[in-house]
Structure 1
Amino acid sequence: MWTHTVGFTVLPHVGGFLGWFINRKETPGWYEKLKKPSWCPPRKLFPVAWTVLYTGMGYASYLVWNDLGGWSSKAVVPLGLYGAQLALNWAWPPLFFGAHNLKMALIDILFLDGLVIGTMCSWYRVNKIATLLMVPYLGWLAMATCLTIRIWKDNPEQRPGKSE
């Protein structure tokens, strides 16, 4: 049924949009003041990249769900891992942009990396196309992880009792 295809494909965009909407006012001010490496992608590229990546991962999740016969017991681990990584993906913007907590954002994205790899491994035997649709996401996530590490290292957070 096409409604399932659309629903699964749109789902990742929901959290992505909410994260953007909630944190949109923080990006121009706080984020622009952070020290970032020369290889940081331009800010305008992020919404385009995430639109493509969320669409690919959403459709991939539909393929896995469909191949496993819907919400069957066989789908618990593959779709559970997917759901967990999606939750961590959605948690990153509020941690980074909203709370300005670079350390927690870094911890989040490191766990996210592991969950995406676990998701892809669990999907490989179910649907290789779905797994391949996750490769660009994993690549972008690797860059985002390196960027988060660099920003965290280059922008020490103020700690109580320490003056700068």
Structure 2
Amino acid sequence: MKTYSRILLCIAICLAVGYLSSITTQSSIKTWYPTIEKPIFNPPNWVFAPVWTMLFILMGIAAGLVWNKLESNKELVKKGLLFFTIQLLLNALWSYLFFGLNNVLLALIEIILLWLVIYETYHIFKQIDKKASYLLIPYLAWVGFATILAGSIFWLNR
């Protein structure tokens, strides 16, 4: 598979996961989410879709760049892509826990785990391709912010 084909496939997979997660989110955005207390720094709802779209694209590029190093560092690339896959699944699970089940506490615990797995993915990617790891920094920052936001929502609605 060609270099750009791998990157495009990874972007498509990330965007598909994001789209599927948004299906779970959509009904709660109109019903449950408006009824809960949120901190003053909660972004408006329209911010989330473009931010997540950008993050999924950056994640896909990063994964594709790492995949393209498979021939030169097979074991580390496999490990990096395994962690990448785990964090992508945890990302989707968070939407289900928070918006699907409306379980803020479980979502808070899970997002902390998600951030840790993203950080490990970043660390592994950095050993393979520094540019790929740098593309995960906005994602780490956003999930860090989302963790603080989820913690605040938990605190305000306990």
Q: TM-score, normalised by structure 1?
A: 0.90
Residue in 1 aligned with 2:101?
Answer: 99
> Which has the larger Rg?
1
Percent identity for Structure 1 against Structure 2: 31
Amino acid aligned to 1:125: Q
Pairing partner for 2:80 from 78, 81, 84: 78
Could you say what secondary structure the match of 1:85 adopts? helix
Give the alignment partner of residue 112 of structure 2, picking from 110, 116, 135: 110
Partner of 1:51: 53
Q: Distance in 1 between matches of 2:95 and 2:73?
A: 29
Offset, 1:107 = 1.1
Query: Which stretch has the larger CA shift, 88-97 or 11-20?
Result: 11-20
Measured against aligned partners, the alpha-carbon deviations of 1:35-58 in whole angstroms (never above 9, x if no partner) come to 011111110000000000000011
Report which stretch shifted further, 65-74 or 100-109: 65-74
Aligned residue identity for 2:43: P
Tell me what 1:161 maps to.
none
Letter of the 2:136 partner, please give it: M
Contact 1:13 1:54 in 2 (8 A): yes
Deviation at 1:76, TM superposition (A): 2.1
Partner of 2:33: 31
**What secondary structure, in the 3-state scheme, does the structure 1 residue paired with 2:44 have?**
coil
* Aligned residue in 1 for 2:63: 61
* Alignment correspondent of 2:132: 130
Contact 1:65 1:71 in 2 (8 A): no
For 2:29 and 2:63, locate their aligned partners in 1 and report how far apart those are by CA, in whole Å: 30
CA deviation map 1:81-134 (0-9, x unaligned): 111111100101110001001111011100001001101111111111001100
Show structure 2 runs of 5+ residues with no match. Answer: none
Aligned match for 1:40, one of 35, 39, 42: 42
Aligned length: 156
Moved more, 34-43 or 17-26: 17-26
How far residue 70 of structure 1 moved from its aligned partner, in angstroms, is 8.9
TM-score calculated relative to the size of structure 2: 0.93
Question: Residue 34 of structure 1: CA displacement?
Answer: 1.0
Let me know the Cα RMSD of the aligned residues: 1.5
SS at match of 2:128: coil
2:84 aligns to what SS in structure 1?
A: helix
Judged with a 3 Å threshold, the aligned counterparts in structure 2 of structure 1 residues 15 and 96 are, in CA distance, closer, same or farther, namely: same
In structure 2, relative to structure 1, the CA distance for the partners of 1:71 and 1:21 (3 Å cut) is farther
